[in-house]
Structure 1
Amino acid sequence: MEEHKIHIKNVVCQRCIITVGDILDNLAIPYTEINLGEAILKRDLSISEKNKLGKEFEKVGFEIIQDRNERLINTIKSFLIEEVYSNDPSNEKLSSILTRELNYDYSHITHIFSESEGQSIQKFYNAIRIERVKELLNYDENSIAMIADTLGYSTPAYLSTSFKKATGFTPSEYKNMQIKDRINLDSV
């Protein structure tokens, strides 16, 4: 059976994946898999189905991506989010991972990403990591050293320095704040 992939903008978490599944189920569109930023359908969609799906996605802040470069950017973002939220992040260089996973030259990937997003892939990746650090600090279950290790920072001091540079607060100061300033991943 041939599979048909659709790329979906702003599908950045498990709840987003569940929402996409609910929408596909409600529209009786058969699928085999839903991942960050994409759904694999069992068949091609009619124009009417695409329009209905697009309208339903729009209601919850999603969008079907048609443009090739936009699909690549969405794939990069989804991959980076998965990497940051992985239980076993790679210690390999980001450029090597993306080149291997996406089968494109890194200079091509970074050029398209930077031109479209107004920031480098590394800057986006660092912003996602900082949001993950904030989340883990809010849970108050892990030490800074454990968080640094989990997210692939070389040392707790480097995590603290990066966090302060990005937020203006040390991790300890952030933990003690009454109001947390977390950002939705689709807004990074």
Structure 2
Amino acid sequence: MKLHIKNMVCDRCKMVVKAELESIGLNPVDIELGEVTLLDKTIGDEQLEKVRSALAGVGFELLEDRAKVITEKIKTLIIDLVHHTVEPLKVNLSSYLSDKLGTDYSQLSSLFSNTAKITIEHYYIRQKIERVKELLAYNELTLSEIAFQLNYSSVAHLSAQFKKETGLTPSQFKSSSERNTIDKI
């Protein structure tokens, strides 16, 4: 049985979800960001309520609505792409998401916008800006290196997008260091 879980954004999230599920007697056999495969083929309503409660207690949400599940899968793919992948994307985002989810991008886009109340492109931009903030805070890469790593066409494009999203230039941000957690974007 597969469970779809909202707000799983890192390896630590996977560990917490695994521990919570094991504590209520379930056996996760595979845990990915946003998705858990259980050894059990089905679970009863009482057990499902325990899952909801256990996950809610540690900041996660069990997703049961198809639109929310697909929206969360899109978010997970984008988060993984922006925050956990070193290689720049070789195709455009719409092709990447369509290929990964096996669904036409126009359907994904419409569903995502209706469910998340933001476009996929804007969500992607917000994630990239949060990654820029993180890399600026580390102070290990130049702005040119950050622009290249995140597949911006130029430093000017990154800077303009950064200013539009945050109201600050990258150098002003470095002075103030204001970041959000990934699940709050």
Write out per-residue CA displacement over residues 128-186 of structure 1, whole angstroms, 9 at most, x where no aligned residue.
Answer: 11011111111111111111111111222211111111111111111122xx3211222
Write out per-residue CA displacement over residues 85-137 of structure 1, whole angstroms, 9 at most, x where no aligned residue.
Answer: 11223131111111111111111110111111111100001001101111111
Percentage identity across paired residues of the two chains: 38
After the TM superposition, list the runs of 4 or more consecutive aligned residues in structure 1 that deviate by more than 6 angstroms: none
| TM-score, scaled to structure 1 | 0.92
Q: Distance in 1 between matches of 2:149 and 2:37?
A: 30
Q: Distance in 1 between matches of 2:13 and 2:88?
A: 22
- Give the paired residue count: 183
Q: Distance in 2 between matches of 1:154 and 1:32?
A: 41
Question: Larger deviation: 119-128 or 18-27?
Answer: 18-27
- 1:91·1:152 contact (CA, 8 Å) conserved in 2? no
Q: Distance in 2 between matches of 1:81 and 1:26?
A: 28
Write out per-residue CA displacement over residues 6-42 of structure 1, whole angstroms, 9 at most, x where no aligned residue.
Answer: 1001112222112111112222311122111111111
Residues 1-188 of structure 1: pairs in structure 2 closer than 5 A? 4-43=1-40, 44-85=42-83, 86-177=85-176, 180-188=177-185
**AA at the equivalent of 1:119:** I
Unaligned runs of 5+ in 1: none
**AA at the equivalent of 2:154:** T
